[in-house]
Amino acid sequence: MFNKINIIVISLFIITGCSQSKKQSLVPDLNNGGISLPEKFGAVVVVDTLGRGRHMAINSNGDVYLHLRALNGDGKGIVALRDTTGDGRADIMKGYSTVNGTGIEIHNGYLYYSDRTHVYRSKMTEGELLPAEELDTIVDLVDGKGHMEKPFTFDNKGGLYVNVGSLSNDCEIELRSPNSRGDDPCVELETRAGIWKFDDNTLNQKQDLAHRYATGIRNAVALTWNKDVDRLYAMQHGRDDLHNYWPAIYTEEQNLELPSEIFFDLEEGDDMGWPYCYYDHQQGKKLMNPEYGGDGMKADRCENAKDPLLGFPGHWAPNDILIYQGDMFPEKYKHGAFIAFHGSWNRLGNKQQGYKVVFVPLKDGKPSGQWEVFADGFIGQPAITNPGNAFFRPCGLAEGPDGSLYISDSQHGRVWRIIYYPDEMPVPIDKSLYQPIALENPEPVPGELMAGKRVYDKFCVQCHMNNGKGAPGMNPPLAGVNIVTGDKEPVIKIILNGLSEPMVINGETFNNAMPSHAFLSDQQIAEVLSYIRGTFGNRAEAVTPDEVAAVRKANVN
């Protein structure tokens, strides 16, 4: 006859046995689904080809919620995933909501998610994969141009922290123009380029200065609360174009590495220095931006800007950060930071960098050793000069209830689940999911378009890339776009006047402002437009100098 002790022992055996069985059934994919990992780590591909995946949230039962940058084919902005077999691979996938964006978290029984101007929440029901259709508006945020994604995090004490990215590159008076001076003081800081704090349970809150928590942060897509030290942690996307806009001060080589992408912690009232200052990890100090009189050495007005914890090379584009709290990974990873670098576009046609997940060991909330690459190989080929050529781009990070690490991709919508195997690793499964792509063969340029290519390479390639595909979410593509290949007058006007409003192409919003290029001659504009309209797969009629002159004259009058 069983007593209570026997029942407890048998129950523990059953629970432990089931847990171990489920863990042992997580067999990694061959080649980790296309990425490289440290020894004894393997990756299961949870799901593939979901669309432009951004941040993720994972429920206590293991359900995964992936926010998409653009709506999928079913018109949904969030995809909910469930694994019912225990093999780590989602076998139930359901679309939810028409809100696309970046931020998403599960908090206090709700799914919170954001778009460009709001943070919403929807009630979750235990056992149900999808939340209720009804949504509450928690915060109404500033609208506008530039960096408009609104990632957020919670402190679990009632505080909701939202990143509000900058409008501009460096608060310059003439957006993205050479030698433009900065607005001084930068009025933009009143509504942008900082972190705003709200109550996590109050509806219809409005953004204002009273809610500003920290300032001088150009754009912190990567944002989290470190409960070990009870403090906000973030990574900043640094400014662009030091050489392109200030060639007398910065070399092209300096532009490739500067300014640093900074890792920092925040307390209320902190100022990280943007737009007046940037951080140079090579010199280990803060320096003034050239828009405010900097020369690569001066630090006159940077004394009050907070020092970062760490600086990474420029243009790596940190898109998420996670403080590891689980027990699955070895001791060295506990309470350290994983950072997903999305890879950026501002490298002047040179080899792209980033596209990896790194690990920073932390002790008492401070870096306690050198950062190291944790997951790599996302680009799928030896070298690329255009971010659109990367096969995968790591974007979101999340921790599963068992301590596994999830990574999302923004190119095709793959999600990996990283498992640690302390003993013998199971024989990987060959699902043939990963097919590396070959380097693109550049399209031959006809002789009559070479003059336009020279103009393009000098003034356009840094934003629209050498294959005309642009930079996702930032600079629009030129290939197969009606405004490029259609009627000539609108595209001539864009060259002459610039473009400050966001542009939507194939459901994706591109936010970077384009400055006026009216300083180019009619001949140069005709040449570069003829090149753009006749390459990148485009086959539109050439533009003549007389056509440019006529539009320019009508523009002036």
Structural domain containing residue 182: 12-420
pLDDT digits (tens, 9 = 90+) for 322-346: 999 999 999 999 999 999 999 987 7
Structure tokens that stand for 220 in this block = 């912190």
Q: Would you say residue 21 has pLDDT above 70?
A: no
| Arithmetic mean of pLDDT, 232-243 | 96
Domain boundary, last residue among 420, 438, 472: 420
Is residue 99 located within the same domain as residue 160? Answer: yes
* pLDDT score recorded for residue 1: 40
Determine, yes or no, domain membership for 440: no
Determine, yes or no, domain membership for 2: no
Determine, yes or no, domain membership for 477: yes
Determine, yes or no, domain membership for 192: yes
With bands split at pLDDT 50, 70 and 90, how would you rate the model's confidence at 6?
Answer: very low
Is residue 452 located within the same domain as residue 396? Answer: no
pLDDT digits (tens, 9 = 90+) for 469-516: 887 777 888 888 888 888 989 899 889 888 877 778 777 788 777 888
Is residue 466 located within the same domain as residue 380? Answer: no
Is residue 117 located within the same domain as residue 227? Answer: yes
* pLDDT score recorded for residue 280: 97
In angstroms, the Cα distances linking 258 to 32, 280, 282, 379 are: 32, 7, 9, 22
Q: Would you say residue 13 has pLDDT above 50?
A: no
> How far out from the chain centre does Cα 459 lie?
25
Percent of the chain with pLDDT over 90: 66
Is residue 268 located within the same domain as residue 175? Answer: yes
Number of domains in the chain: 2
* pLDDT score recorded for residue 480: 83
Full DSSP string of 398-434? EE-TTS-EEEEESSS--EEEEEE-SSPPPPPB-----
- The enclosing domain of 538 has a CATH number of 1.10.760.10
Determine, yes or no, domain membership for 407: yes
| Arithmetic mean of pLDDT, 70-74 | 89
Is residue 387 located within the same domain as residue 527? Answer: no
| Arithmetic mean of pLDDT, 438-463 | 76
Q: Across all residues in the chain, what is the average pLDDT? A: 89
What phi and psi values does residue 362 have, to the nearest 5 degrees?
-125, 145
- Selected residue with higher pLDDT from 442 and 462: 462
pLDDT digits (tens, 9 = 90+) for 22-64: 444 799 999 999 999 999 999 999 999 888 899 999 999 999 9
> How far out from the chain centre does Cα 314 lie?
14
Residue with tokens 């092209």: 252
- The enclosing domain of 244 has a CATH number of 2.120.10.30
pLDDT digits (tens, 9 = 90+) for 165-200: 999 999 999 988 889 999 999 999 999 999 999 999
Q: Would you say residue 438 has pLDDT above 60?
A: no
Determine, yes or no, domain membership for 180: yes
| Arithmetic mean of pLDDT, 91-99 | 96
Is residue 334 located within the same domain as residue 185? Answer: yes
Is residue 182 located within the same domain as residue 33? Answer: yes
Contact (Cβ atoms closer than 8 angstroms) between residue 96 and residue 75: no
Q: Which of 89-98, 116-125, 436-445 has the lowest mean pLDDT?
A: 436-445
In angstroms, the Cα distances linking 284 to 69, 107, 298, 308, 467 are: 35, 38, 13, 10, 36
